[in-house]
């Protein structure tokens, strides 16, 4: 048994999204065969995503009859030098965006981050909404950031997530009245002067619209992909389309469309009411040939969880929590597709 024998076996492992085997796609970085161990480095870039977890399981199954330990690792090269990397220890940066306010973007960002953390991933949640930061309330984070002697900020943690928000740095009721250059400066400092450590995912909750914070992120940080949040109604879809065009102009992958407030299920009678309409987000995704990440119902428990700092995705008995878990898995899977496509094209 040598390296080529192992590669021949791995040709039977299919990538379900890209439609070919992992060897032909260039997803096997390296194979090393020792008398007691086979070490394999795979180009998988979405930790804990269901699809990539299954690919790794298929690799193990393919080699299971060999009397050797199977040691798997995952690595995707960024293509950037160490000097060019703004967040060298962050594997994936996910921007959560909306064209307009009031569609539940922060709710989706918080539950996405908490859902990834619940899956086992190392997660950072960056509240980049300079003018209306509310992530700390939504996760009940009352601990303030600390600083080292070198003036590096140590972010607080909640639900296994490292947190950073402008809300930590200003008075509770103080308005933030800044022009564009100040927004750029503070966001850049918060990315670069925070001890994030090694993260599988950083979720960035952007303010509504297509303004200074969005431009700073897209021009300064290697964003893996964006999630666009909308409600079913036409006015929200119109604004979501503007956000889609913004990401397109900056060559940023859109991981998919999330439809929030997708129908209200009456807790008393069980009937469904389409208060904001239904299906607009799904139709928008189809029209633009984008993945539809799922619909989140209009559920009072989401509001309660946000006010009390308990993300509903962590409630294993909640149907709405399950909708967020499905969305989380879809986002992770689509990051994997994006990373593996990029690898196979090199």
**SS3 call for 105:** helix
**SS3 call for 310:** coil
Largest separation between any pair of C-alpha atoms in the chain: 67
In degrees, rounded to 5, the angle at the alpha carbon of residue 62 between the alpha carbons of residues 56 and 66 is 115
Angle of helix 212-220 versus helix 234-249 axis, rounded to 10:
30
Quick one: which H or E segment has residue 16? none
Among the listed residues 81, 136, 82, the one whose alpha carbon sits nearest the alpha carbon of residue 113: 136
Task: With beta carbons less than 8 A apart as the criterion, state whether 320 and 296 touch.
Answer: yes
**SS3 call for 3:** helix
> Rounded to the nearest 5°, which phi and psi values hold at 313?
-60, -20
Give binding residues for ATP as ranges. Answer: 99-106
Task: With beta carbons less than 8 A apart as the criterion, state whether 122 and 199 touch.
Answer: yes
Instruction: Determine whether 159 is exposed, middle or buried from the number of CB atoms within 10 Å of its CB (0-12, 13-18, 19+).
Output: buried
Alpha-carbon gap, residue 203 to 163, rounded angstroms: 10
Q: What are the Cα distances from residue 47, in Å, to 116, 120, 201, 234, 322?
A: 9, 9, 9, 35, 20
H helices of the chain, in order, are 3-10, 50-62, 105-119, 135-138, 180-192, 212-220, 234-249, 280-287, 300-308, 319-344
Q: Name 136's Cβ contacts closer than 8 Å, sequence gap at least 6.
A: 127, 142, 163, 165, 167, 168
Give binding residues as ranges. Answer: 99-106
């Amino acid at each position: 048994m040598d390296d080529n024998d192992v590669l021949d076996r791995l040709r039977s492992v299919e990538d379900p999204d890209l439609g070919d085997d992992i060897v032909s796609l260039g997803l096997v970085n390296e194979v090393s065969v020792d008398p007691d161990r086979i070490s394999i480095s795979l180009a998988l870039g979405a930790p804990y995503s269901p699809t990539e977890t299954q690919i790794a399981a298929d690799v193990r199954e393919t080699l299971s009859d060999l009397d050797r330990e199977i040691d798997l690792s995952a690595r995707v090269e960024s293509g950037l030098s160490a000097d060019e990397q703004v967040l060298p220890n962050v594997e994936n940066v996910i921007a959560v965006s909306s064209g307009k306010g009031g569609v539940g973007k922060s709710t989706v960002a918080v539950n996405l981050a908490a859902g990834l953390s619940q899956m086992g991933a190392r997660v950072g949640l960056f509240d980049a909404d300079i003018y209306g930061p509310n992530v700390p309330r939504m996760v009940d984070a009352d601990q303030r950031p600390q600083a080292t002697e070198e003036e590096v900020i140590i972010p607080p943690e909640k639900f296994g997530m490292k947190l950073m928000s402008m809300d930590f740095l200003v008075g509770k009721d103080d308005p933030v009245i800044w022009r564009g250059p100040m927004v750029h400066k503070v966001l850049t400092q918060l990315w670069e002067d925070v001890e994030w450590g090694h993260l599988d995912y950083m979720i960035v909750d952007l303010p509504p619209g297509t303004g200074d914070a969005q431009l700073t992120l897209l021009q300064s940080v290697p964003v893996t992909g964006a999630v666009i949040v909308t409600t079913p109604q036409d006015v929200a879809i119109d604004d979501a389309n503007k956000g889609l065009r913004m990401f397109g102009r900056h060559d940023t992958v859109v991981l998919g469309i999330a439809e929030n407030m997708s129908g209200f299920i009456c807790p008393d009678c069980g009937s469904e009411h389409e208060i904001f309409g239904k299906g607009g987000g799904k139709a928008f995704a189809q029209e633009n040939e984008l993945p539809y990440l799922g619909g989140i119902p209009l559920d009072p428990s989401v509001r309660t969880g946000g006010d009390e700092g308990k993300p509903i995705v962590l409630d294993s008995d909640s149907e709405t929590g399950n909708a967020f878990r499905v969305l989380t898995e879809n986002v992770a899977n689509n990051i994997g597709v994006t990373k593996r496509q990029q690898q196979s094209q090199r």
